[in-house]
Amino acid sequence: MLQQFKYWVLGLVLVAVIITAGLYYNHQNATVASVQEIEATLNTNITGHLRAEEPKFMTKKEWVSSVIADTAAVQKSNNGNLKVDLVFLDKQGKPTNEETNIVSVQVQTSVINKSGVTVTKSVKRISLSQK
């Protein structure tokens, strides 16, 4: 009888580990999907501007709106809140507010559970110039 109990406990622990790993994978997958969607959207915008030979890219406000809209579309099915932080960087990699100095954007996407705890976080730096 003790032998069977040992295997039941071992089985329950194994099931708990598998469920925990599955939940972690689900949250991480949602965050990575958001970052990849953001990168694809920004790269598409950059390519479009270069093909049109426009000297100026989108404004900061337009970048933020585009990133938030696309991330929200990807995250619709995710259970939890989404936090997106954007930092516009200059050539030296320092934060800047001058639109003429912006050469890249650093995007941090976080999934926050109902308790307010950050479950997963992903950071991506995207170049806005083709130089």
Q: What is the 3-state secondary structure (H, E, C) of 32-87?
A: HHHHHHHHHHHHHHHHHHHHCCCCCCCCHHHHHHHHHHHHHHHCCCCCCEEEEEEE
The domain limits of the chain are: 2-127
- CA atoms within 13 Å, Cβ hemisphere of 46: 15
What is the residue-level pLDDT of the chain in tens, covering all 131 positions?
A: 678 888 999 999 999 999 999 888 876 777 677 667 666 766 666 666 555 555 455 677 877 777 777 667 766 666 667 788 888 888 898 998 887 888 888 888 777 878 888 877 778 787 766 55
Q: What pLDDT score does 15 carry?
A: 95
CA distance 69 to 51: 24
Full-model pTM: 0.60
